Every structure is written in structure tokens, then in C-alpha cells.
Structure 1
Amino acid sequence: MAFDAWAPPPAGPLALNADEVHVWRASLRPPPHVLARLEMHLSADERARAARFRFAEHRTAFIAGRGAQREILARYTGLPPHAHVYAETSHGKQSLAGAAAEQGIRYNVSNSGDLVLVAVSRGRELGVDLEKLKPMPDGIDIARRFFSAPENEIFAALDEAVRDLAFFNCWTRKEAYIKAVGEGLSMPLDRFDVAFAPGEDARLLRTRGDEAEAARWSMAALDPGEGYVGAIVVEGDGWRPVLYDFGSV
């Protein structure tokens, strides 16, 4: 099952209960008036980074993604979008710093194609990943390099008609997990197994080196829209996803 009920958000500040994880879907190609609004939220450093992009489409995507992230987080922190300050771990995982850090808000972001996902929780570490579907003629070769032995055995046995979808199911679920853990690319993708066959519920099946680690996390598949797949991994269980469409703001 992939969660796909993206709804308009309510007006004003949003409460974030401990048993909820909110996931926002936003376009990286917003209309000009929206892009102008989002650009106003950026820090001086973000503006400088945007200006360094050679191609306009990449500059637009960066502004739209960072601006939407700031507007979304403001719904939970109560701070103006431009006031958010970020910290970053040695492996590149971002978190809120300053006054917002004391509120226990956790977030994670992923973008691909024309979309970005922003996942937000309170007091739970999390990771989200998004990928645009495309043909993968070399999927088996890439899987052999990065997937675990049990995953490769399942992947190779799949019908060719569903293999591309299965590849991205596996990839997003594995990426969401390493982002939740916060180790980034320093964690080998073959150190753990996920369920990924089409129609199979997303699950973290096992982790090597620490067998109890898998029980610390729960996973869900996301359907961000036609031509995309997504996944989210959240610390603990007993939570439910709430999906919002930023384009409805």
C-alpha cells in the first residue's frame, strides 16, 4: 500500500501530534508569482547559492525547494520563514537550529524531477526519499553493486515488466532509511534489506551488525503522483502519515 491522499492544508499554524508525521508535496516549477514569494524567504547564503546555478531551471528548482521548505516549517515553529537557522551533521543531515530546535521538530527533504517532498515530525527521527521513474536498462547491474544479496535474488526473479518499478521501490526505501539514520552515503546499501516487490508493503526487514536496529524503525511507501515513487522511514511505530499538497496553499 502506498499512501496517496494529498489534501489541501488547513489555514494557519499546524499542530503536530506525536502520532502523526506530515509529508508535504510541492512543485519545483511554481508560477512566477509564487516563485517570487518563495525567494523572499531565502537567507543571504541561499540567495548566493541560487545565483551560482548556470541554468535557470536549476536555479528555479533550488529557490522553490528551499522557499517551500521554509514556509512549511514556519507552519509548525511559529517563526517567520526567513528566520529559520539550520545545522548540519558531518554526513549532511540537516536539522533546525536556534530557537526552533527547542520545539522538537524534525524534518527531512527529497527532490526529484519537478517535485520535492518535505517530511515533518515531532520528536521522531525520519528520512524521506523521492525518485522520478525512468527506464533502467542497467538496473540489474546497478542492483548487483548496491543491493543486498537477498534483495538481488528477489530482484532478478521479477518479471521484466515490473522490474523498473521494483528498482525504484527498493532504492527509495533504502535511501529513506540511511537518511533517517543520518549516516548518508557512509552506510553501505547492502548492510540492510527492505521489502520492495510491487504490491508488497514497505518494510525494513533486517539490519546486519545490529539485529535489533530494524525494530527501531517503521517504513511506508508514498505515491507522490504519476511517474514518481517515494518512501518514508520514521523512528518508532504507532504513527500515521498526513499528506499535504503545498500547491493548494
Structure 2
Amino acid sequence: MAPPHDMYENSRGRGAENSPAALFRALRAGGDTHIWWWRQPLSTDPADLALLNTEEFRQALCLRSERDAAAFVHTRATARRALGALLGMAAEDVDIGPPLCPACGDSLHGPTRLSRPEVPLALDLARAGGHTVLAAGTGSAIGVDAEMLRPVRQDVLSESWLTPDEALHLLALPRGPVRDAAFYRCWTRKEAVLKAVGHGVNDIRLDRIESYPAVTGAVLLHCPGPPCTGGRTAWVVQDLALSTGVAAAVAEPAGPAGPADPGGAATPRGQVRLHLPGNA
């Protein structure tokens, strides 16, 4: 049997009180959500490439576009540096594993996960407009979505993924930036929940998730359970102020699903800690 994580020294040579497991417990006690937001480079940085593992290196080589390859490489390297700093360890000692469903163990769906160190830190990544956002939390799962704000056509408001209340709210708003922002607030909140659950729109109907676009701040969303779990799940979803012209939201578990809150408002367990690099 392997010794508990607390018995190891971390990669910087410090004792158990500063080990990844001890730092994770401190993060969990605070209940905060950590968000990193950065601009993607146009070309690959050799320093980023050096942090990739063999499989990631192979994936980068398979990308046809140099810009896509640079974005992939930089995302993996930046995520390692960010998570390493959070857990008190070197970037090269951090590994991000393939998706894995926490409910049924299926590798074909599920949220992003941390494979090294062995602490249950929940992760998710999203890209929008040449930027990437990384979310980390201490709950059982986390989901994040970001979208560039664009003008919304009138006919889009009748699409089937909106609930009746959402459609009525959007139609009551004047055309232009106010309506556009509310539209993307609906979408990013729902998408963040689906990413946290680890299933997409083919498994869960978006019109069964009420996003409360009229409510600012944190909201409580109830999601129908995916095929591998059944039941309903409850999520606290918070909007993120990342950049002008970007809508974003992060979702984390709210515990066992109870009766839907008519007002939609919720109280998050901790604060959102936003980490913005100099090139954001």
C-alpha cells in the first residue's frame, strides 16, 4: 500500500504541510474557484513544448494549422504552470488526463481531469476568440464556457434550446447589446453545466435547463441527469468578467438537487479568484 500523500515532500523540497494534498485541503476549506484567462500565441514557444508529454506532442503534430498547434501546446503548458503554482509543485510534475466519467467510468465522455498529482481537483478548459480559460475547483466537477459576444438574429430567439421563460425574457429586451448579452448569458450558463456533467446536447436537452438570464450573480440551475446517472443534478453557476466582448460562466455542484428555486438566485460556497496574465 502506498503511503498517504501527506508523507511525501513536494517537488520544491518542502514538507507535508506544503504537499499537494495539504494545499488541496486548504483550497477545499476555502471553497474558492480559480480561473485563469490568457491570450493564445501565434507560434509555438519551445519552453511550452518542453512541458508536453509524449501523447500531447503527438496530438500537436497532428494539427494542420500552426496556430491551432501553438494554441494546444500553450494551453497544456500554461495549465501545468497554473496548477503547479496552485498546488505548490513544478509544472513538469503536473499531468492532465483524458476525460473520464465519474459516474460510469466511460472514457468517451466526462469532464477534464487531473491525473497527477493524485488530488481530486476538478478542471475544465474553454476557448473563445483567441483566448483560453481554465477553471479549477475542489468540488466533484467543474465546467466553464466562454463565447464571443456577437449580434443575435431575431429568429434565433425561437430556437428549441431556449425555455419558454428564457425566450419571453429575451424578446422583451431591446435589440442590440443588452439582448445579445442576455442571450449569451443563457448559452454559457447551460454549456458550463453540460461540461461539468460531462455530456453534451445529444444527451441532455438544453430546453430542460432554466438559466434565469434576468438574474445577475450566482444562480442555481437544475440539470436532468445524464443517461449514466439518471435523476437531476443541481449546480451553482456564476458569470465571469473575463474581457470586454466575452460572455463566460463557471458551474460547480450545489449538492443534492432539491425543488427549483423560483428566483434562481444562489449563494456560492467561496469566491472566484481570477488570474489574469500580462497578455490577457
TM bin (shorter chain): 0.7 to 0.9
Show the counterpart of 2:41: 29
- Deviation digits for residues 168-216 of structure 1, max 9, x if unmatched? 111111101111222233221111101224x73352355568xx956x3
- C-alpha distance in structure 2 between counterparts of 1:164 and 1:172, whole Å: 12
The Cα of 1:93 is off from its aligned counterpart by 1.8
Structure 2: unaligned runs, 5 residues or longer:
1-17, 101-107, 226-230, 255-267
- C-alpha distance in structure 2 between counterparts of 1:143 and 1:115, whole Å: 30
Show the counterpart of 1:20: 32
Is 1:154 the equivalent of 2:175? no
The runs of at least 4 consecutive aligned structure 1 residues that moved more than 6 Å come to: none
Show the counterpart of 1:118: 134
Is 1:71 the equivalent of 2:85? no
The CA RMSD over aligned residues, in Å, is 2.9
- Choose which of 109, 133, 136 in structure 1 pairs with 2:125: 109
For the 8 Å contact 1:74–1:81, the answer to whether it is kept is yes
Q: 1:159 to 1:22 in 2, by over 3 A?
A: same
Partner letter of residue 131 of structure 2? L
Partner letter of residue 211 of structure 2? V
- C-alpha distance in structure 2 between counterparts of 1:105 and 1:205, whole Å: 22
Show the counterpart of 2:99: 88
Q: 1:143 to 1:175 in 2, by over 3 A?
A: farther
Is 1:243 the equivalent of 2:257? no
TM-score by length of 1: 0.80
Partner letter of residue 47 of structure 2? R
- C-alpha distance in structure 1 between counterparts of 2:28 and 2:237, whole Å: 18
Q: 1:153 to 1:202 in 2, by over 3 A?
A: farther
Q: Which structure would you say has the larger Rg?
A: 2
Show the counterpart of 1:134: 150
More strand by share: 1
- Deviation digits for residues 42-88 of structure 1, max 9, x if unmatched? 11221222122222221221111121112222223445434415141
Show the counterpart of 1:46: 56
Q: 1:151 to 1:75 in 2, by over 3 A?
A: same
Matches within 5 A, 1:210-221: 213=232, 216-221=234-239
Highest RCO, 1 vs 2 (Cα 8 Å, sep ≥ 6): 1
Q: State, as a whole percentage, how many aligned pairs show the same letter.
A: 28
For the 8 Å contact 1:92–1:184, the answer to whether it is kept is no
The Cα of 1:248 is off from its aligned counterpart by 7.4
Is 1:230 the equivalent of 2:248? yes
Paired residues, what number? 230
Is 1:200 the equivalent of 2:216? yes
